[in-house]
Structure 1
Amino acid sequence: MKAFLVIVLAWIVCVAAQDDKKASESSSDSEIKIYKRLIPADVLRDFPGMCFASTRCATVEPGKTWELTPFCGRSTCVQNDEKPAKLLELVEDCGPLPLANEKCKLDTEKTNKTAPFPYCCPIFTCEPGVKLEYPEIPNEEPKKE
């Protein structure tokens, strides 16, 4: 069981690192970047076949999506194909903020924090020829037991 969780978490870190790299190589700073990661779902003992959406304080059936308000993002309850089946949460959000850069500023006129996801993600404007850089997510190797 622990080995399975370690492998899933290592896979999530790898996917997130690849998504970060792809996002930082994007050609347009104003395009919306959506980061996805799969994490173990929160499950309440009284509702074992459902994900617990803490931002809504509600249970959610597999296959259903909910907004992460007040955060900018959404999640989907996912049931994997393993025996016994496990519930996972597919989280989609704006990802990490870019590294500080004096030549790039948060565009407060284009950013709408109260808009529905993904239109609530921050939008940055950079001087010509300048690209945003994003923090590296460390690639952790699965621990051997």
Structure 2
Amino acid sequence: MRAVVQRVNYSSVKVDGEVVGSIEQGFNVLLGVEENDLEKDALYLAEKIVNLRVFEDSEGKMNLSLLDVGGAMLCISQFTLLGDCRKGRRPSFIKAARPEEANSLYGFFVDAVEKMGVKVETGQFQAHMVVDIQNDGPVTLLVDSQKAF
């Protein structure tokens, strides 16, 4: 699994012009599921992201986690994170999980984050979405479960 994690002041997602998810302070997470990902990948990412210390403490140092600041998460499924751009001009998405597998692991990830005590809003799987992100910092990180094991 691959995630782009952005520290935000605000983030929302619309489908057909209607807001389906929004948060204030927290993380906007774009999540891509790879064909061989398992529940252990989702658990790894959930634990890693929720505990990333990238929020400022009273001294202005990035020392607090999403849990520490009581932040929320807007999680959006994004298979294009698995696009391979090394050959040609059109990305190849053959490493992305099939939609039914991806949706299942996406839901598992969201449930795991919620069980850790974080409020999670989501986009709509396989829908065309418009995402509004007010990145704070900016702080943007890439987290990949395949680089962890």
Q: Structure 1-normalised TM-score?
A: 0.24
Structure with the higher fraction of residues in strand conformation: 2
Higher normalized contact order (CA 8 Å, seq sep 6+, divided by chain length): 2
Q: Structure 2-normalised TM-score?
A: 0.23
Structure with the higher fraction of residues in helix conformation: 2
Higher-Rg structure is 1
